[in-house]
Amino acid sequence: MPSRRYARLPAALLVGVLGLALTGACAPSGGSDSVRIGARAGLRAHGTAVTGAPVGPPPAASDTWHRAWHAEDVLPDPLAATTTCRFSARLTAAGSTLRLTFGSPGPGVGYRILAGSVARPVAPHSLEVDATTSVPLHFAGSPDVTVAARAEVVSDPLAMPVMAGTDVLVTVTASAGDGYHKVGLVEPGACSDAEVPAAATAPARAFPAPGRVRWLRSVLVDGPAVRSVVALGDSLTEGPVSPDFGYERWSDQLVAPGVAVVNAGVGGGALSGPGVMGTMRGVDREQQLLQGLHVNEPGALRPRIAQPHIDDLVLLLGTNDLGLGRSAEDVLDSMATIVTEASMSGTQLWFCTLLPRGETSGSALERKRLAVNDALLSGRFSLYGVKIIDTAAAVADPTAPNRLTPDYDIGDHLHIDAEGARRVGIAVRSALNAPKVS
């Protein structure tokens, strides 16, 4: 029997999960709760999960718009002046048309996009654009748009055929205001300290300072059906960071033909409360991924922009909660909240065990980590369709499971290196590939 704590899960969840796997600018129609992207019904509110299927296209997917890239821009960083930045995004889905979403996920004053463009680079990892491929962004036909606090906007569709693995460069000039950005510099990016003239085709030297992604949240691709996977976590998911941008994150191990994988890792992120650097709770980030931010409109309804369906959400998050003094039950209760929120989305949830932290066996932190992992492995959420992946076992030292295997440890006994990330990715990929057990 489940813990009494889960008696408060909604009846719809109790009914649904027993038989089913768990989980541009657009003008909102009057009184609508969401906004469709594109003329076709490309973004669905509910979908059929593909739990246990090989990592490949879902069998009956009708969606056409998919997240091909995503950044969790959640670290507050107000900008005092107009700034131009250029970011590289490696896409994981193919298609003929792109749309870009920009947001301001937290409180503040918002900002205004003054100009934006998309182009191909002259070479992988390069911030030099191929000027012949540059296409300007528009929002309801306008080159500029205001992004309000806690809101997002979606660009008009732009024709740009891409394949999975294609790199695109996004150049944006934005006003002073909110500048939420990613914690880690995991893909090429750079900024100026002022507005760059003719920024769309400006040389890379016009952007002298390395820049973490800000403003830009997602690149959506209109293309063939894919299985959509989101990796939600902290620095163990966001990284490791390599100087040559080698795409060595565990989520990169999941990319395959017919599979669109996006990384929603936040360095220092936590699940049940603010992260190490004050970033928003993981439960709130999960809600934004499933439901989106509000559209950029005043008024009481503040409808949300409909989001591309997520087939699989893989959660490796909670270790920072323990380090910040929160309890194992705080982490597990937040996981229960995610179960509740994802229950009607058709999204299959995968919860990963927390990796070793190098704490002394029997210490308070180690006891809390083991309490979370024991609850997951003993089936605390099995009634609700959640699948568990023992990622801790994939990287633990066999002779001292409270520690990382030395070959996977960057040296701080908490973070995994590229080989450790590969081992975690293999464990996740194997779970997603496992045949369905009837």
Q: What's the pLDDT tens digit per position in 99-111?
A: 999 999 989 999 9
Q: Please give the angle made by the CA atoms of 41, 44 and 46, to the nearest 5 degrees.
A: 150
- Name the phi and psi angles at 116, rounded to 5: -155, 155
Residue with tokens 């569709």: 157
Residue range 342-355, pLDDT digits in tens: 988 889 999 999 99
Q: How far apart are CA 95 and CA 360, in angstroms?
A: 50
As a whole number, mean pLDDT of residues 111-118 equals 98
Cis geometry, peptide bond prior to residue 2 (ω within 30 degrees of 0): no
What integer pLDDT is reported at residue 12 of this predicted model? 31
- To 10 degrees, what angle do helices 328-342 and 364-377 make? 30
What integer pLDDT is reported at residue 428 of this predicted model? 98
Higher per-residue pLDDT: 300 or 206: 206
What integer pLDDT is reported at residue 316 of this predicted model? 98
Residue 211 has pLDDT above 70, yes or no: yes
Nearest C-alpha neighbor of 104 from the set 35, 167, 175: 175
On the CB side of 38, CA atoms within 13 Å amount to: 21
Q: How far apart are CA 284 and CA 425, in angstroms?
A: 24
Helix (H) / strand (E) element for 231: namely strand 227-233
Nearest C-alpha neighbor of 38 from the set 308, 237, 249: 308
- Name the phi and psi angles at 189, rounded to 5: -165, 150
Least confident of 184-188, 194-198, 214-218, 372-376: 184-188
Nearest C-alpha neighbor of 375 from the set 355, 354, 356: 354
Q: How far apart are CA 345 and CA 137, in angstroms?
A: 31
Q: How far apart are CA 77 and CA 177, in angstroms?
A: 9
As a whole number, mean pLDDT of residues 13-25 equals 29
Residue range 132-155, pLDDT digits in tens: 999 999 999 999 999 999 999 999
Cis geometry, peptide bond prior to residue 240 (ω within 30 degrees of 0): yes
DSSP letter string over 96-129? EEEEEEEEE-SSS--EEEEEEEEE-BSSTT---B
Q: Which 3 state secondary structure label does DSSP give 259?
A: strand
Residue 210 has pLDDT above 70, yes or no: yes
Q: Which 3 state secondary structure label does DSSP give 218?
A: strand
Longest dimension (CA), the chain: 64
Are 307 and 347 in contact, with CB atoms under 8 Å apart?
no
Q: How far apart are CA 135 and CA 159, in angstroms?
A: 8
Nearest C-alpha neighbor of 329 from the set 381, 272, 268: 272
As a whole number, mean pLDDT of residues 179-183 equals 93
Q: What is the mean pLDDT of the chain?
A: 85
Tell me how far CA of residue 23 lies from CA of 87, 107, 259, 285, 314, in angstroms. Answer: 32, 29, 17, 16, 10
pLDDT range class, residue 432, cuts 50, 70, 90: very high
**Per-residue tokens: 234:** 């902290």
**Amino acid, single-letter form, for residue 424:** V
Q: How far apart are CA 188 and CA 274, in angstroms?
A: 27
Residue 282 has pLDDT above 80, yes or no: yes
Nearest C-alpha neighbor of 163 from the set 257, 70, 246, 238: 257
DSSP E strand stretches across 157-199: 158-162, 167-174, 189-191
Least confident of 9-13, 231-235, 279-283: 9-13
**Amino acid, single-letter form, for residue 300:** A
